[in-house]
Structure 1
Amino acid sequence: MQQVPDEGLIEQALSLIATSEIATERAARQAASRLAAWRARTPQHETAYLEALRRWKLLAVVAPEMREHFPQDIPLAASRGMSRRTLLGLGVAGACTALLGTGWYWRQPLYRASYETGSGQLSQAQVPDRADGGGLGTRIDLSAQTRLAVSLYRHERVVELSHGEALFTVAPDASRPFRVRTRGGEVEVVGTVFTVSDRGGAVSLAVEEGHVRFHPAPRDARWYTLARGGPSLDLRANTAVTWRDGEVEPVRRIDPESVAAWRNGWLWFDNQRLDEALPAINAFRTRPLTAASPAVNALRLTGRFRSADADSASRVLEAILPLRAETRADGDVVLRLR
């Protein structure tokens, strides 16, 4: 697993890089020499240097925007050894370090939007993230009872899925990775088609096309966190994985038609635990089905059901599983073992 570089070390490297690029010839040579020695100290220094260099190169793309943040007229220092150009170079280097080192500039979103669907409701969102700037690119299909937020930054595209299930058809852009963040961890892609599901219990990921990398979160993560709960997993077309309470189940093969089958009016289950299947069914019901015990939750469900018939799902479950459904006075249905 790749180590996350320390921001303090990145700031040091940025300062040296900026000075070596902008300052006077003598000061630039001295900075380059210090930078070479600094990089050689530890592997952590070299990792921080590579990240700082990446940010510095990205700055070249947006340099006209950045100039407005820098003072155009810097007063001369009292010391005769400091030329005006050196002061300007060091001033720009300091400003670049402050903006890039702390991540302020890169954390300013270029676009933000939130989406939510109700019970039995499907929706579609188009994201303006085409690499050529031509307009709409990534498409997100939202299943019922789904909440998510989209943020586009200069260096990445981020979706925070707080509840529900969505299908992502991602526009390729190698310079801006696409990430989906959930309680169960982060999914990172460049261009692919996949679903992510989080309805409060297990978090599932299924890939229809392409290649994604899943970085699982630890057991007690309440929301996306930089902490990792285990090694990253690479998934490709027609495979899926489930994260449950900090544990990642083995990657499994899936029927390609099962990915986001709700788009076509189907609820598709392939040997899924009932505590994972019930929330998906309930998203299309007017009153929820609940399990009376952990033993009910542990039952496995296989089959396809029309989402339009979700209100009669209790009768179907009674027919294929050792269950009986009891309707409460408030209309909720409890599933018990027979």
Structure 2
Amino acid sequence: MKKTMKNRLAVAGLCFTLTAGMLTGCSGNSGKAIITLDGQKTEYAVANIMLRYSQAQMQAFYGAYLGDNLWSQYGDSTKSTMMDTLKQMLILEQHQDEYNVSLTDDDKKKIDEAAQQFMDDNDQATLKSMGATKERVARVLELYTIRNKMSNAIVADVDTNVTDDEAAQKTINYVVFSTADTTDSDGNKVVLTDDEKAALLANAQKVRDAAAGGKSMEDAVKDVDDTKTVSSTSYGDNDESYTLDEAIRNAADKLKDGEVADEVITTDAGYYVIQMKATYDPDATASKKERIINERKSSKFSEVYDAWQSAADYTQDDALLKEITFHDIYQMATEAQSETGTESTESTEDAGSTEATEAASETESAAATE
């Protein structure tokens, strides 16, 4: 049977409300301890509520593509990720006093309201199936809110100053005529012949000559092969890792703005025609600065969290975890399913502030890294 979930009220970056659906059975494990951290027990139902939120998100993104295969392929990994996240939340909560983090009266009020709304929006069959009570839902919301606050606090002193020398990015336009092996409709590998490769190289040369002669890359490609498109990529002299083939990078470094490489670049992947779009791309540089700052924050978060995690006395009941299944499918509800289907996330402004909302995605990345 299907259960539905809808976004309704946001608390500290978390949209969290379920709606009723036709259900089968209930969980008798709700009050059992699925996690024990330094003697503190966390109930099965708390993990189950968190998992159903993750399940509905996954269903919304991938359900249409994978259908019945979604949970047979990704059920175990989804549970594992959720448990890692829950573990992280509990450990962060354990150390909140070290960063003077706590729930404000306003946080508590909004969490209480959201938990009550959750209870009001679900029928008893749904709540019983999940083992959901107002206190357990509030507990989940508390953990999300504390994690957001702790994430902000841990990275608050990270250096956010990034110079242009550190982040400066060049951007090139390129067209590739691929010589990679392909697979036919029967699954057999298809390898290009020397004559086919020579024809591709000739087409690449035509594009290069036309672009060097003043045509735009787009027009030059269209005249030769209208199935090809012009792509672009950015890189910097100080980048420690990049996806550009060394031959392409070396050729690009010799170019000024607008110039086309003197020759077609041959790589293992195919034949490349490259043009320097900008030897200094301000937009790409700004994006690189942001990535550098986020990397610093992620590194700082990991440094602090890893030390706490190593010292924690943590156990989880894997046998109990196995009893969480995906036989029922949770879905995000649409507005058509409920007149109160959505509300603005403006209600988060006082519960953890906009920073908490922004921190959510950063913390998710940190959790995924862990």
TM-score norm. by structure 2 comes to 0.24
Higher RCO (CA-CA < 8 Å; seq separation 6+): 2
The structure where helix makes up a greater share of residues is 2
In the superposition, the TM-score normalised over structure 1's length comes to 0.26
